[in-house]
Amino acid sequence: RRAIAQFPDEAEPHYRMGRIHRAQMNDDAALEEQNRALKLSPDFGPSLYERILLVSRQYRVRMQELAEEAWRREGDRANRLAR
């Protein structure tokens, strides 16, 4: 956080803070920091890479949630039909 305060126009401190958040499994905060870094430097490779990792993880989690929801609905439907 001190580095962000010292270098407010640099992408690197935001990238590093985002890495810390990701290591703590706080993906939302990690993505926010990578987006801040990319706002300052749109072609900052490390943040682009981190953003890809974070967004793909969100996508996988959401697809899993949707699949589980679909299976639950299918089970509920099968139970209603069996009655």
pLDDT at position 55 is: 97
Each of the 83 residues of the chain gets a pLDDT tens digit; together they read 788 988 989 999 999 999 999 999 999 999 999 999 999 999 999 999 999 999 999 999 999 999 999 998 988 887 787 87
The H or E element that residue 59 is part of is helix 45-82
pLDDT of residue 25: 95
For residue 52, the model assigns a pLDDT of: 97
Backbone angles phi, psi at 76, to 5 degrees: -60, -40
Which residues are CB-contacts of 50 (< 8 A; sequence separation ≥ 6)? 15, 18, 19, 22, 30, 34
CA–CA separation, 71 and 36 (whole Å): 38
Task: Compute the distance between CA of residue 75 and CA of residue 18 in angstroms, rounded to an integer.
Answer: 40
